[in-house]
């Protein structure tokens, strides 16, 4: 197993995880934070920009996972690397976007 492939799968998982909120917001027609907003990463970008940014993230994720080495769903190391990338970036995104959308301080019902 080439460790550089595992690093690629880790970052592929991170890019695929990052694609999700942007594509979902964009496809729902809602604005969401992107690196292109003002202030950067805090302001809202249009749904169209979010679809484009999400698609870019899917493309990079695909290239990192499917075009580097031979990713195998039955290879535990490959899946763990991809999953850790998605999980770690997911935690980061939850905290980052939660500060703008109330997710960091939920209120009880």
Q: What are the distances in angstroms from CA 37 to CA 45, 80, 89?
A: 5, 33, 20
Closest CA to 86 of 8, 24, 17: 17
The model's pLDDT over 41-53, given as tens digits with 9 standing for 90+, comes to 788 999 999 999 9
**Confidence check: pLDDT of 55 > 70:** yes
Would you call 90 exposed, middle or buried from its count of C-beta atoms within 10 A (0-12, 13-18, 19+)? middle
Question: What is the distance between the alpha carbons of residues 23 and 17, in angstroms, rounded to a whole number?
Answer: 10
Q: Are 13 and 82 in contact (CB under 8 A)?
A: yes
Distance in angstroms (rounded) separating the CA atoms of residues 80 and 100? 30
pTM of the complete model: 0.86
Q: Are 28 and 47 in contact (CB under 8 A)?
A: yes
| pLDDT per residue as tens digits for the range 92-105 | 988 888 777 766 67
């Amino acid at each position: 197993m080439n460790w550089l492939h595992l690093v690629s799968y880790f970052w592929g998982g991170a890019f695929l995880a990052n694609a999700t909120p942007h594509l979902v917001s964009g496809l729902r027609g809602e604005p969401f934070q992107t690196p292109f907003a003002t202030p950067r990463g805090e302001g809202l970008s249009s749904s169209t920009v979010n679809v484009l940014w999400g698609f870019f993230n899917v493309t990079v994720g695909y290239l990192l996972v499917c075009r580097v080495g031979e990713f195998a769903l039955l290879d535990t190391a490959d899946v763990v690397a991809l999953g850790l990338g998605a999980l770690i970036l997911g935690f980061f995104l939850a905290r980052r976007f939660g500060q703008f959308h109330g997710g960091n301080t939920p209120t009880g019902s």
